[in-house]
């Protein structure tokens, strides 16, 4: 007999909580002795204790053989203990697992005894089902391969319980050994898939539990390969119409959600039954699965789909208004999937969705925000943005409010409304990004008031000072900066207001003191750019110049923003000088000197920065301002007399230097207009993303041709004949040191023979001297090589042989002295203006003559210079004509204008009989 059973072991562990390890070690030593007993009852009790100890993390691999002995017992309670221990501790590395195969086969194939048998060794249906359950946990790849034929044969067992349990075990068999689906049944010659046929038989089983288990198996198998189970669609569709089991219907509907994308014809068949289920079922889980399948399966398109979509949205409204947070969450998920195809249906629940934005549950808030982004339009944008902006405002709970709430609680008043949840910084960052996406959607198509949008961007910049960077690494400051620059560039009418707001932002020192949360300081770079680019909209540029070159900017700003400050500050300074030159007064001179000297000091400090960009900008602009300062001291000419001068109108005498005892007015310094052409030669506008692809390629340009051909190698190879020497990286021959013996051998070879070999340099020279045509050809080739050789320095035009006057061709030209046609080239079609009140430059700038709807980049119509080979052929033809005494008339052929073509003869349309 055993000393202690499993119940005693559990009691001992509970009684010794402070020293459990000692109790466990004693139990292990005890069971090691008990499993060696010849009594199976003692072994089974010891195995049961080991199963409990294995759950506590102890290894019981030493009892593997004893477990197999218990599995082979004829008594059911001992066999079940053995199967339980084997399923819990056997794995691929267990050595005795090989002994289990025949044992399990024997238990599976033994016919069950009658149900009411009194024999202690009888194998009832319960025993067989217990074996199947243990096999599902015991399976290894090798065991699954060996047991698969026997388990497949049990799919046709006479007892429905066995068939159901076998179907459920087949999923475990497939996971351990996928080759089970390839085992045949003997019907392969008829072209039937044996695995599909087995599943079809079980779907048509008389017992509903077997059918439900089969549907579960197919649903799991179809996740990996749904196409293989399309042949079962008719049987599944029949079950969808006949079954009343909600859980089986959910599985079938999930199956059709996977099969419908592979077979579009299923959509038309599934719409009626799914509509009926959605309208009649009271089960929320089944209702949601029907809606989900309708969305995923693409059933919401077409005439019947519109009605089904309306039904789905109507049912989801009850989910939205339910108090259950889970139902509200899944309804928002479903509405977000319906929104792309039926936005007008989702818009009917606009207010309910907006109320979900204020929900205390953060997950419901995020799903509602996804819907709000798709529902926004021109009318609701401002309302939604203002509502979302209120979430970014810091919660202001005063002490008086707290005292009032405490008094109400003490007086037994009704429970106060719970305070809103504390919003995380990540949520507030995503909220700002959402507002920017909604407003910039379709190039600001929903923004009707751009002054409001500029104010909103500035407010978001102030609210984002305390926020961290975005999760993607993109700061909110960069997003706000891009929006401000883009709006100011695209909407011309908003530039005066934008410049005014940016000037106020630059002058606000509290913005600099608020910190650099989320990189919002980059907004100041956008403000500096807008004030510099559109500085003509500034009424008084001096405060902006003072803000851009203030003493606190150098220490509070990053080098990238500071470089924008000094560059655009000089632009504002240049515009200010130009305005003073247009309305010149001698009193402005001292003011210009003081401002110029202050700016030079700031630029000199920037030139000593460690940042390369800032250093370069500071050095360059300091040199430009030095020219202005020197120009202020340069002598200036006297202003020309003005007829409106009363002194001159009276007929008094005028001196060049003095007029009526006063000094004559002089012209403003010319240096005041020196900077304006540097910065304002053209206006910077947004560029279309396709502009680069629409740039016309010049005719004759070959982008694949070598720009500088290595002709020097050919020249040296021609000079050296057949000898191929070493060359450097530039193709020039390298001199090779020769030994004295080699030098003597070379000299002897030169002196030895007097014959000139054909193809050598001397032979070619003789042939050239004897043949003038060959001499002219070689000369032309040499000039061509020299023209393309980057290492040859010579005249750009080839020298003309003055002695060969007779070779100059004489051509009689017929010149058309009529003025050129005043017909202009066909210009690109002007883009129709956007209706008022505001014009937005959506397309941006394009190359001249390019159209966005053109199928291919336009080709430049300017005549290209003729190719060199064409020039040579024309000259040879003209020379030949002169030799023959002919006089050739040269007429310039007119080129066709772009877009025109040779008119073709219109064909008579074919009649119906001819067609």
Please give the helix or strand (H or E) that residue 813 lies within, else none. Answer: strand 812-813
**For the chain, what is the total number of helices (H) and then of strands (E)?**
40, 4
Flag whether the pTM goes above 0.75. Answer: no
Lowest mean pLDDT among 18-22, 294-298, 728-732: 728-732
Mean per-residue pLDDT, 685-698: 84
Asked if pLDDT for residue 185 goes beyond 80, the answer is: no
Asked if pLDDT for residue 547 goes beyond 50, the answer is: yes
Asked if pLDDT for residue 722 goes beyond 50, the answer is: no
Structure tokens at 220: 């799991």
Asked if pLDDT for residue 110 goes beyond 80, the answer is: no
Which of the two residues, 143 and 250, has the higher pLDDT score? 250
Q: Tell me, what's the pLDDT at 398?
A: 37
Mean per-residue pLDDT, 332-358: 91
Asked if pLDDT for residue 560 goes beyond 80, the answer is: yes
Q: Tell me, what's the pLDDT at 364?
A: 93
Residue 532 confidence class, pLDDT cut points 50, 70, 90: very high
Asked if pLDDT for residue 889 goes beyond 50, the answer is: no
Q: Tell me, what's the pLDDT at 693?
A: 83
The DSSP call for residue 491 is B
Q: Tell me, what's the pLDDT at 330?
A: 94
Residue 258 confidence class, pLDDT cut points 50, 70, 90: very high
Residue 721 confidence class, pLDDT cut points 50, 70, 90: very low
Q: Tell me, what's the pLDDT at 473?
A: 64
**DSSP helix/strand/coil, 666:** strand
Mean per-residue pLDDT, 743-752: 50
Four-residue CA torsion sign, 743, 749, 754, 757: negative
Residues 228, 181: Cα–Cα separation, whole Å: 11
Q: Tell me, what's the pLDDT at 6?
A: 87
Prior bond of 364 cis (ω within 30°): no
Q: Tell me, what's the pLDDT at 896?
A: 46
Angstrom CA distances, 463 to 398, 429, 525, 700, stand at 20, 10, 18, 57
Residues 518, 512: Cα–Cα separation, whole Å: 13
Q: Tell me, what's the pLDDT at 567?
A: 92
Residue 657 confidence class, pLDDT cut points 50, 70, 90: very low
Nearest CA among 79, 81, 35, 41 for reference residue 61:
35
Asked if pLDDT for residue 273 goes beyond 90, the answer is: yes
pLDDT, the chain, mean: 77
Q: Tell me, what's the pLDDT at 867?
A: 42
Residue 194 confidence class, pLDDT cut points 50, 70, 90: confident
**DSSP helix/strand/coil, 133:** helix
Asked if pLDDT for residue 672 goes beyond 80, the answer is: yes
Asked if pLDDT for residue 661 goes beyond 60, the answer is: no
638 phi/psi in degrees, rounded to 5: -75, 145
Q: Tell me, what's the pLDDT at 825?
A: 46
Q: Tell me, what's the pLDDT at 803?
A: 52
Structure tokens at 251: 């599985």
Asked if pLDDT for residue 905 goes beyond 50, the answer is: no
Asked if pLDDT for residue 747 goes beyond 60, the answer is: no
Which of the two residues, 474 and 580, has the higher pLDDT score? 580
Residue 413 confidence class, pLDDT cut points 50, 70, 90: very low
């Amino acid at each position: 007999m055993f000393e202690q059973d499993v119940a005693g072991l559990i009691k001992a562990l509970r009684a010794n909580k402070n020293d459990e390890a000692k109790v466990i070690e004693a139990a292990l030593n005890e069971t090691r002795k008990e499993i060696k007993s010849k009594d199976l009852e003692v072994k089974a009790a010891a195995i049961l204790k080991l199963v409990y100890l294995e759950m506590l993390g102890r290894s019981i691999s030493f009892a593997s053989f004893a477990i197999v002995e218990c599995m082979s017992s004829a008594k059911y309670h001992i066999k079940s203990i053995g199967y339980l221990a084997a399923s819990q501790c056997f794995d691929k590395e267990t050595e005795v697992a090989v002994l289990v195969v025949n044992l399990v086969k024997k238990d599976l194939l033994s016919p069950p005894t009658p149900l009411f048998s009194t024999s202690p060794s009888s194998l009832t249906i319960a025993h067989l089902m217990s074996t199947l359950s243990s096999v599902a946990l015991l399976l290894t790849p090798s065991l699954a391969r060996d047991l698969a034929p026997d388990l497949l044969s049990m799919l046709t067992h006479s007892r429905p319980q066995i068939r159901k349990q076998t179907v459920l075990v087949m999923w475990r068999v497939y996971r351990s050994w996928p080759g089970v689906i390839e085992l045949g049944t003997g019907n392969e010659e008829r072209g039937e898939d044996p695995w599909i046929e087995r599943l079809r038989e079980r779907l048509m089983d008389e017992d509903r539990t077997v059918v439900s288990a089969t549907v579960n198996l197919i649903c799991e198998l179809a996740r990996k390969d749904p196409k293989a189970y399309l042949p079962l669609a008719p049987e599944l569709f029949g079950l969808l119409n006949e079954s009343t089991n909600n859980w089986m219907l959910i599985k079938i509907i999930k199956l059709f959600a996977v099969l419908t994308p592979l077979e579009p014809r299923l959509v038309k068949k599934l719409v009626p039954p799914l509509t009926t289920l959605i309208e009649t079922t009271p089960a929320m889980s089944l209702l949601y699965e029907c809606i989900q399948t309708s969305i995923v399966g693409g059933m919401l398109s077409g005439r019947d789909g519109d009605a089904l979509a309306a039904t789905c949205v109507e049912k989801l409204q009850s989910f939205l208004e339910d108090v259950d947070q889970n139902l509200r969450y899944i309804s928002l998920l479903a509405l977000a999937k319906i929104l792309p195809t039926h936005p007008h249906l989702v818009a009917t629940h606009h207010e309910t969705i907006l109320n979900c934005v204020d929900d205390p549950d953060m997950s419901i808030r995020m799903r509602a925000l996804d819907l709000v982004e798709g529902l926004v339009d021109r009318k609701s944008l401002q309302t939604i943005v203002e509502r979302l902006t209120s979430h970014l405002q810091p919660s202001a709970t005063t002490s008086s409010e707290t005292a009032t709430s405490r008094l109400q609680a003490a007086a037994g008043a009704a429970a106060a409304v719970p305070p809103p949840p504390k919003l995380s910084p990540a949520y507030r960052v995503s909220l700002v990004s959402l507002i920017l996406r909604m407003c910039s959607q379709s190039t600001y198509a929903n923004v009707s008031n751009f002054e409001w949008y500029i104010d909103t961007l500035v407010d978001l910049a102030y609210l984002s000072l305390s926020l961290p960077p975005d999760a993607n690494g993109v700061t909110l400051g960069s997003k706000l900066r891009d929006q401000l620059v883009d709006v100011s560039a695209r909407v011309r009418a908003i530039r005066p207001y934008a410049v005014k707001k940016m000037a106020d932002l630059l002058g606000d020192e509290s913005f600099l003191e608020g910190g650099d949360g989320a990189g919002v300081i980059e907004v100041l770079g956008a403000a500096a750019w807008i004030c510099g680019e559109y500085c003509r909209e500034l009424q008084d540029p001096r405060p902006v110049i003072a803000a851009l070159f203030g003493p606190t900017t150098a220490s509070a700003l990053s080098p990238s923003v500071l470089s924008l400050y000094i560059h655009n500050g000089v632009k504002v300074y240049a515009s200010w000088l130009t305005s003073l030159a247009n309305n010149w007064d001698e009193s402005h001179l001292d003011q210009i000197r003081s401002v110029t000297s202050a700016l030079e000091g700031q630029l000199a400090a920037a030139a000593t920065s460690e940042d390369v960009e800032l250093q370069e900008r500071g050095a360059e602009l300091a040199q430009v301002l030095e020219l202005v300062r020197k120009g202020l001291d340069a002598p200036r000419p006297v202003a020309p007399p003005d007829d409106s001068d009363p002194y001159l109108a009276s007929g008094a005498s005028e001196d060049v230097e003095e007029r009526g005892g006063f000094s004559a007015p002089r012209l403003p310094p010319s240096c005041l207009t020196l900077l304006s052409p540097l910065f304002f030669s053209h206006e910077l506008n947004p560029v279309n993303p396709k502009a680069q692809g629409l740039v016309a390629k010049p005719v004759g340009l070959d982008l694949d041709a070598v720009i500088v051909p290595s002709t020097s190698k050919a020249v040296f190879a021609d000079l050296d004949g057949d000898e191929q020497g070493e060359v450097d990286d530039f193709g020039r021959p390298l001199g090779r040191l020769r030994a004295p013996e080699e030098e003597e051998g070379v000299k002897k070879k030169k002196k030895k023979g007097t014959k000139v070999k054909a193809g050598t340099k001397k032979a070619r020279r003789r042939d050239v001297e004897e043949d003038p045509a060959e001499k002219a050809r070689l000369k032309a080739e040499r000039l061509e090589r020299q023209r393309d050789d980057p290492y040859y320095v010579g005249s750009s035009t080839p020298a003309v042989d003055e002695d060969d006057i007779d070779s100059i061709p004489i051509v009689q030209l017929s010149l058309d002295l009529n003025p050129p046609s005043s017909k202009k080239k066909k210009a690109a079609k002007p883009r129709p203006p956007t209706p008022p009140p505001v014009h937005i430059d959506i397309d941006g700038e394009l190359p001249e003559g390019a159209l966005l709807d053109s199928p291919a980049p336009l080709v430049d119509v300017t005549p290209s210079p003729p190719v060199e080979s064409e020039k040579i052929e024309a000259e040879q033809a003209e020379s030949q004509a002169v030799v023959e005494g002919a006089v050739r008339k040269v007429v310039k052929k007119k080129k066709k204008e772009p877009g025109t073509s040779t008119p073709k003869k219109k064909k008579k349309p074919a009649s119906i009989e001819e067609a």
